[in-house]
Each structure stands twice: as C-alpha cells, then as structure tokens.
Amino acid sequence: MARKNKKREAGSGSITKRKDGRWQGQYVSDYDPKTGKLRRHTIYGQTQKEVAEKLRAATSSIDNGTFQEPRKITVAEYAAEYMATHVATLTDSTQRSYEKNLRLHILPALGTRRLTDLTHREVQRFALSLGVGGKGLAPKTVHTVFGTLHALLTAAQRDEILQRNVADFCSLPRVTQTRAKAIPSAELNQFLDLIRKDEFYYLFFLDIFSGMRQSEILGLRWADIDWNRNSLVVRKQLQQKCKKGDYSYTLIPPKENKQRRIILAETAMLTLQKQRTKQQRQRLAAGPLWNNPFDLVFTNEFGRALNHQTVYKHLKRLLRSCGMGDYTFHSLRHSFATISLENGDDIKTVQTNLGHSTASFTLKTYAHVSDQMQRSSAARMEELISSLGAVN
C-alpha cells in the first residue's frame, strides 16, 4: 500500500489562529534553487475570512503562473491587489477617488518601484512634486493623493510585505481654511424670485432652509419625513455607481454614519407638501413608466433618481443667469448655516443640523459670520447699558 505523501505541494496552504487573536495563512510557492526546498510564505488578517480570501488569491496566482514573491512585488502590482481586496469594500465614491489618484499621480511616479525598495526620502520627493514647483496641485488635493499612497503602504505593512510605512512623517503643504461662501440674504431673495417657476425650485428651496448636503437631499425618502413633528431625518445619501457597465444608484449611510433630525420651518414643510403633490401628478402622467424604487422625494418626471451632475449644472446655469456664478450647490448649505448663526442659533444646534462631527469644526468653518453676530451682541449690550442708566 502506497504511503501518503505528507509534503506540501506548490499552491497549497493552511489557516490557523494566532495567540494575539489575528489569523494567519501559510502557503508554499516554488522551489528555492539554492536549497531545493519549497518557499513558505505567511499572510495575516483580522478575520479568518480575510485570510482565506488572501490565501485563495495567492494560491490561485501560483496555479495560473502569475505568482510573484512579496519582496519582489512592485507598487503597481500591489496597487491592483490593494484595489481588489482592500478598497473594494469601501463606498463607490471612495473607490473612484483611490483609482483616480493611483492612475493619474501615484503609479506614473512610483508604479515600477518595488514596494520593499521605497524609501522615506523618495516618498517625500513625490509629495513635493505634486504641489508648487511640480504639478501645481492645490494643498488639499496633495493631501488627498498622498493619503491614498499612505493607505496603500499601510495595507502592505499589515500584509507584512513592509516592515514600516515609509510615508509616515512626510511634510505636506499646509491647507488653508477656506471661507464658506454663503449667499447673502439680499442676493438669496433675488435668486429665489428668479427660480420660483424652475423645475427644481422645491429642491433648492428646501436645501437652503435645511442645510443638507447634495447627496443627502437627493437621497431623501418620503419615509424620512415626519409630518407630525415638522421635521425630517437624514438617514441615507444617494450615490451613483460608476463602474464599467454599472451606473445604477444606491443609498448609503450619511457621513460619519450618523443619522440626524432637522426640525424645519413651516414654510419648508409646506414646500415638501407641494413637492408631494407635484410628484403625484407626475406619477399619474407617467403611468406604467413610473419607477421610484427608493421612494425618493426628488426625482425626474418618471420617478428615477436625479443625477448629481445634472442638478449641479442646472443650478450653476441659474446662478450665472442672475450674476451669481461664483456660488455652488454647497453655497446653499452654507447659506443655511450663516442664516442660522446670524439669527441667534447656538453653535451646537447648527452643528447638529449640518451633521458636522464637532462644534469646533463648525466654529472654524463659519468664523467669518462673527461680524454680524458681534454687531448684534453690541446692540444687545447697548440695550442692557441703557436699561441700567449707567451713562451720565
């Protein structure tokens, strides 16, 4: 009877749990020409499933002849693996951002370099090449591109290809806090008068007086409206997939993954009622062509989700037509915040309505509102002084 061969073959692997709680997978690849023994490799992960996926990818590459030793893998080769295994679980917009940063900036500069040969000085030079004196990217864009590279190298470190992240402690250009560009009240009245008969009037009006992000108001559903409490709850945001052959829409959680309730003015609630009546008429007119699977508040005439760019470009045309071309969709949100602060809302309330992570961020973003607030404060102080009779 033939004895069972206990030696591993190239492409085989196993998974075990470590004492520190992590999981590890071990596999063998080709034979070392010097020793004649199979080369053994170890991969790590936080869960058994994660390691199993990495192990399948590694052993599959051995079977089809595309395997490359981790120490020889280039930035471009690891980037492909990184996008497929790590970034694939992130939102579509984040995936698009990472893909763009890699394709336009990181891979042309560093793609052919071996991961293990990258140095801190080389990565620092790359960072400098993105800004002034190089590609001339804005400081905020430099931070975004560099963040993608740093995340990729962090993943390579977790995969134990790198001992350390050479992108740590790099010097990046300082990002200057930009002033939130809100539409002044006088111009806001002019704008609302101009668009009163526009097809997106209710959408723009509600955004000005709720402060929602564009993706949040486009993802607003009728189930999110609380008619009894004159409020709405931001539970989702609308996002369009931009993968080859798939441009469908999906609803994802809001930023910071935090829902928030916004109590609306009565006129804003009346606007929602008018939008509901308008949509009911559109539904009757569309008949069997009506298709609103998410039950969205704002749709086209056939119930389909509104495209972000379509709405944005439409608004820009309207703004330019009344000499306000410097403003954007985000200016509507800024207008809500500015009006709230100038009318005496406390910073915590404004932070909650906007969905900011901290009140300090709200204060920093809207520091320019302080002039009007200080004048109002001085006027209230004058009233107090007069009431005390402290002036001779």
Residue reference for tokens 């709200």? 362
DSSP string, 306-331: PPHHHHHHHHHHHHHHTT-TT--HHH
| Residues 63, 81: Cα–Cα separation, whole Å | 17
H helical segments located in 120-184: 120-130, 139-158
54, 150, 260, 356: which is the annotated catalytic residue? 356
Tokens found for residue 160:
């134990």
> Known catalytic residue: 143?
no
List the structure tokens of 239: 């996002």
CA 263 – CA 265 distance, rounded (Å): 7
For residues 134 and 140, what is the distance between their CA atoms, to the nearest angstrom? 15
Task: Supply the DSSP string of 200-243, one letter for each residue.
Answer: THHHHHHHHTT---HHHHHT-BGGGEETTTTEEEE--EEEE--B
Which one of 164, 213, 221, 364 is the catalytic residue? 213
Q: Give yes or no for a contact between 269 and 230, defined as CB atoms under 8 angstroms apart.
A: yes
Identify whether 330 is a catalytic site residue: yes
Burial of 156 (0-12, 13-18, 19+ CB in 10 A): buried
Query: H/E element holding 274?
Result: helix 266-286
Tell me which DSSP letter residue 184 carries: P
* Residue 333 a catalytic site member: yes
Considering 150, 236, 333, 334, which one is annotated as catalytic?
333
The separation between the first and the last C-alpha atoms of the chain, rounded to the nearest angstrom, is: 117
Our answer to whether residue 213 is catalytic in this structure is yes
Active-site choice (82, 98, 249, 366): 366
Q: Mapping DSSP to helix (H, G, I), strand (E, B) and coil, where does residue 173 land?
A: coil
366 tagged catalytic: yes
Q: Catalytic residues, which ones?
A: 213, 244, 330, 333, 356, 366
